[in-house]
Structure 1
């Protein structure tokens, strides 16, 4: 089932204006969004690198380095958004990326 999700990222807790958010039609798209943010970060850090490659450990380190990262998932029956923390996001990413690598 598609669950509307909102991704909230605050790179550094000291700077509130650095907050970014994005919304997605599904949890999977939201998790994909986390990977995209990390990929952008890698491109910015390594502008001369021809391709961007990383492993799940680097992705998890990046998630841990963020001041705050949460995913709000719409609970349709109640019409409210349920917040999920970094650990939940990492758990879901692990499963998603495993599925993707098995499918290749």
Structure 2
């Protein structure tokens, strides 16, 4: 897996911009899910557990002002940018892999 940088801007305010780096793309995808889970915890603090399906996660991603991933290409040693659609497709594929591997 390739080193991946997550660029995130939840709102129009440029002060909301942040970035995180991960050892692999899958770790980054897990990180995006954790961002959504933290959002849900803040939105519903009285709930003991949170549940969601992938369509809820995708709606959250679509509502972000900006979300992109920069994935290291190990052959050219450059970072390749990927948009929200790529992120959603990658999360979908990762979740399907995990279901199959159970």
Distance 1:102 1:46 in 2: 31
In structure 1, what is the equivalent of residue 9 of structure 2? Answer: 10
In structure 2, what is the equivalent of residue 92 of structure 1? Answer: 90
Distance 2:43 2:10 in 1: 15
Gaps of 5+ in 2: none
TM-score (norm 1): 0.93
Q: Deviation of residue 52 (structure 1)?
A: 1.2
Aligned positions of 1:1-104 closer than 5 A: 2-12=1-11, 14-104=12-102
Distance 2:95 2:47 in 1: 23
Specify the SS of the correspondent of 2:52.
coil
Gaps of 5+ in 1: none
Give the paired residue count.
Answer: 102
